[in-house]
Structure 1
Amino acid sequence: MKKKIIIGVTICAVLSMGIIPASYVYATGNNWSNVIYPEVYIEDINVGGKQFGEAEELIQKKYGESLLNKKIQIEVNDNIYTLDYSKIEARYNIGEVVNKALSYGKQGNMIQKYKLIKGEEKKEFKLNFEYNSTPIDELIDRIEQQANKDPQNAKIFITKGDIKITPEIDGVKLQRNKLKGAILENINGELSKEGTKIKASLEIIKPEINKEKLASINSPISSFSTSFFTSSANRINNIDLATKAINGTVLMPGESFSFNEAVGERTRVRGYKEAGVIIGDRIESGLGGGICQVSSTLYNTMLNANIKADERRNHSLPLAYIGKGLDATVDWGNIDLKFTNTLNTPIYIEGYIENKNVYFNIYSSKTLTKRTYEMVTDISTIQPTIKYIDDATRLEGEKIVTKSATSGYKVKVYRKTFEGGKLINTELISNDYYTPVNGEVIRGIKKPL
């Protein structure tokens, strides 16, 4: 009530002076109620006297449409990627600002409105630049997929002594954060700049293994082979699959090898077949039978290269194809043959079968051949027991062997190192135990008539 009294007094005072008729003041304010007051600017455009739609169209034509024509070009090697402002929905808050301009002064009293309409005071409103950053990330994703290249290690191939090395290839990685930062830094609403060019930063990724490192693999340093002359077709098939899986393995100094990881699970889908396997004190048919000959042959090749096993176990029974204490059994998910390249140079494992023999060769630096190695075994025999079962229905002296007895063994394996023909070291490699198989015999006790 007090405010209305003050306004009324002010108006009466002005009118009593005969300066401006009240009706004129009121009519002037009323005439500008739906348009923007004079001397109101949005950026550099005078929108005074314009209705909302007129002002919006005027600002949109200069600032909205021109903005959508801008673009940023991104150079990645020989490729150019374009980020259009239309894709990022670049825009000014034109509607919001025009609404502010239209509302300017409309809340004042009659005299205040009149002064703004008739006055020469300039009022400016600024536009805010906005955009959607999601398309930027999507473009960078696409650039990254096309620009990024994994490094490729140098590769070595050896076939019966013929050594070939293909050089390494550098990898490329887009420096994503730097590119995004450069894009965001250059996105703006300046109409004087139609576009910007950015050169993406790329990081060169060097491969872990280069040709120079592999060049030190220049000579065989150990070899070993075993025969499977009497093996079945299924067993030969399994030996061939496992040998091929290992052939070509390269181990850098400090890298480890796992037979199970290299060969993989022995399944029918992967081509493995049923063949004889040792289970306890007997031989049964099992999927992948025969691959222990592969692991045992590789184990001896490894020993002759002056490498120790990290994990290795002997069979429960001695084997015909290899000496006692020199075998290495494997079983998927249970028993493995593992070793680490403890040499100062990389090694290459070559494996192949020929004339019903499985061969393994380890290649490395020729400097390692100045030493040679010999495996020596110390064997103690453990005699089995024989259980006799008397049979009164059979004649005295008649015997039937129901379970054959085989001796057990305690075996120590030593590796002797020679240099220049002289023994320079002897070390214990393994201490194995082969369980004796106790026999059973049925014997007759019936007296002859």
Structure 2
Amino acid sequence: MRKMTWFAGLVLSLVLTAGSTEAQAADASSGNVIHTGVYIDGIDVSGMTVAEAQTAIESYVQEMGTEPLTLNIGDNQLQTALGDLGLSCTNLEVIEEAAQLGKTGNIIQRYKDRKDLEHENKNYQLEWTLDSALVTEYVNAECTQFDQEAVDATLEKNGSSFEYVAGTEGLLLDVEGSVEAIVNYIENEWDYIEGSVDLPVEIDEPRGSEEELSRIQDELGTYTTSFKTSNSNRSANIARGAELINGTVLYPGDTFSAYEAVSPFTTANGYYMAGSYLNGETVDSMGGGICQVSTTLYNAVIRAELEVVERSGHSMPVSYVDPAADAAIAGTYKDLKFTNNTDSPVYIEAYTSNKTITFTIYGEETRDPDRTIAFTSTTVSTTPPTTQIVADAGQPIGYIVATNGNTGVVAELYKHVYVDGVEQEVTKVNKTTYRMFPRTITVGVAGDETLSNELQAAIATQDEALVNATLASCMERMQ
């Protein structure tokens, strides 16, 4: 038995010695390069240094970035390159692991690792991910283009009755869920074959059942203004504004913007050049007259007692309503906005007839039938226009043109509440300040230097009587 044990030990010693000699020889021959038979994600890195392997893998990652990814959004498709979504690897440390294979551990482990490579290649798998910020940016910019918002149910008014028009469903992309789906697919499912991801969408249900809209039966507020002195362009603009608002249904809590409803003010949208206010003067602008639309609507709204969110007066009082009862639209800085603060939908009717415009708001009347309201305008103060005399070196002596100017007005609008004809409450609706615009006299001063200097000196005093006398004297001497 001792002889057998001694013999076995001798054999093992010889094997270890041989293996040690072979391992040492391999260590000496391999140097700093990766052993033969080592792959990273299918890329043969045998014989490469770590730096060379890093370069090879970086090139491979860039190449994989050109791979397409198809995104399915309902019946629509988009395709993008993975590199545009920030494709990258999360475990590039496998390059160092690959380089150390057969070079770490004790001599027996190193020998075993190398022998294994002679029989079977070793492939290190890369792990992939995307840049969530880039994915989110792409989804928001490109994928949401297919969103279809629901079209709420509405009404069409035929004579004195309303006809129900059913709404249609919409389809909206779940942006957050889509980003998660795309990133998860690349991290856990992508097999390098052309990828495809179904993005989650949500059904956007329309508002308004027939039962809900059938509650719109009562006239809540109405108002009419006249534009009998308006020319054809201004009349057409008023009619167009009414047309764009007519038929609007506001559900409880909805806020309406008159500016959004009637803009843009372009020929393509049915508007013409017509008079509007600018710096105390009436000038032609595209859509001139639209403020009469918003003003008439405002008066219907306050009589329906809906909540006014935003309202601005004109720069000057208007002729078709009392001071403080107007509502101007100007760019995006003056708008009429109001909210349906009732528990039922409301319907806005607008039309023009015989050069008048009428707005009527329908809904479900819940106010006391014995209660009535009225509105009055009170002028708090007025500021007569001053006179401003201006020299115009581009016009000859003798030229004189005057504008009328406009009186400044401070006015307040009051709401009166009556029950059984007896006034119960008075509240101030708004206080509006209309600017004073001076009467401007423009006097030409081009001509004889002496006369021009005399005239300019008179203008500098801003004394109208002196200017007129000096001008008359100049004209006399010029004859």
Q: TM-score of the superposition, structure 1-length normalised?
A: 0.54
| Residues 126/298 of structure 1: CA separation in 2 closer, same or farther (3 Å cut) | same
| Residues 263/354 of structure 1: CA separation in 2 closer, same or farther (3 Å cut) | same
| Residues 426/141 of structure 1: CA separation in 2 closer, same or farther (3 Å cut) | same
Question: Which residue in 1 is equivalent to 2:363?
Answer: 364
**Stretch of structure 1 that moved more, 252-261 or 220-229:** 252-261
- Deviation of 1:211 (Å): 3.8
The number of aligned residues is 352
One-letter identity of the residue aligned with 1:158: E
Per-residue CA deviation, residues 30-89 of structure 1 (Å, 9 max, x unaligned), is: 9xx89xxxxx9989xxxxxxx99xxxxxxxxxxxxxxx9xxx999987899999x9xx99
CA–CA distance in structure 2, aligned partners of residues 301 and 147 of structure 1: 38
Question: Which residue in 1 is equivalent to 2:325?
Answer: 327
CA–CA distance in structure 2, aligned partners of residues 289 and 198 of structure 1: 53
Question: Which residue in 1 is equivalent to 2:166?
Answer: 166
Q: TM-score of the superposition, structure 2-length normalised?
A: 0.51
Secondary structure in structure 2 of the residue aligned to 1:344 = coil
CA–CA distance in structure 2, aligned partners of residues 436 and 121 of structure 1: 97
CA–CA distance in structure 1, aligned partners of residues 296 and 346 of structure 2: 17
CA–CA distance in structure 2, aligned partners of residues 78 and 386 of structure 1: 66
Q: CA RMSD in A?
A: 6.3
Secondary structure in structure 2 of the residue aligned to 1:176 = helix
Question: Which residue in 2 is equivalent to 1:179?
Answer: 181
- Deviation of 1:351 (Å): 1.7
Bigger radius of gyration: 1
**Stretch of structure 1 that moved more, 374-383 or 232-241:** 374-383
Question: Which residue in 2 is equivalent to 1:353?
Answer: 352
Whether the aligned pair in 1 keeps the contact of 2:245 and 2:261 (CA below 8 Å) is: yes
Question: Which residue in 2 is equivalent to 1:284?
Answer: 282
Per-residue CA deviation, residues 354-379 of structure 1 (Å, 9 max, x unaligned), is: 33221212122244584764424366
Structure 2 residue 125 is matched with structure 1 residue 129: yes
| Residues 135/257 of structure 1: CA separation in 2 closer, same or farther (3 Å cut) | closer
2:152 equivalent among 151, 154, 159:
154
| Residues 156/129 of structure 1: CA separation in 2 closer, same or farther (3 Å cut) | same
| Residues 41/371 of structure 1: CA separation in 2 closer, same or farther (3 Å cut) | farther
Whether the aligned pair in 2 keeps the contact of 1:182 and 1:198 (CA below 8 Å) is: no
Question: Which residue in 2 is equivalent to 1:340?
Answer: 339
CA–CA distance in structure 1, aligned partners of residues 434 and 364 of structure 2: 37
Superposition pairs for residues 25-424 of structure 1, below 5 Å?
A: 123=116, 126-130=122-126, 145=143, 149-160=147-158, 161-174=161-174, 175-180=177-182, 182-184=184-186, 186-187=188-189, 202=200, 204-207=202-205, 209-211=207-209, 214=213, 216-264=215-263, 266=265, 271-275=271-275, 277=277, 280=280, 284-287=282-285, 288-307=287-306, 309=308, 310-313=310-313, 316-317=316-317, 319=319, 321-322=320-321, 324-325=322-323, 327-333=325-331, 335-367=334-366, 370=369, 373-377=372-376, 413-418=414-419
Gaps of 5+ in 2: 1-17, 31-35, 40-45, 48-63, 387-402, 440-464, 466-479
CA–CA distance in structure 1, aligned partners of residues 138 and 438 of structure 2: 70
Secondary structure in structure 2 of the residue aligned to 1:123 = helix
- Deviation of 1:244 (Å): 2.8
CA–CA distance in structure 2, aligned partners of residues 95 and 368 of structure 1: 79
Secondary structure in structure 2 of the residue aligned to 1:304 = helix
CA–CA distance in structure 2, aligned partners of residues 386 and 429 of structure 1: 27
Whether the aligned pair in 1 keeps the contact of 2:385 and 2:407 (CA below 8 Å) is: no
CA–CA distance in structure 2, aligned partners of residues 381 and 42 of structure 1: 93
Secondary structure in structure 1 of the residue aligned to 2:344 = coil
Whether the aligned pair in 1 keeps the contact of 2:311 and 2:328 (CA below 8 Å) is: no
One-letter identity of the residue aligned with 1:179: A
One-letter identity of the residue aligned with 1:123: D
Question: Which residue in 1 is equivalent to 2:472?
Answer: none
| Residues 214/142 of structure 1: CA separation in 2 closer, same or farther (3 Å cut) | same
Secondary structure in structure 2 of the residue aligned to 1:127 = strand
| Residues 73/265 of structure 1: CA separation in 2 closer, same or farther (3 Å cut) | closer
Query: Percent identity between the aligned chains?
Result: 22
Secondary structure in structure 1 of the residue aligned to 2:416 = strand
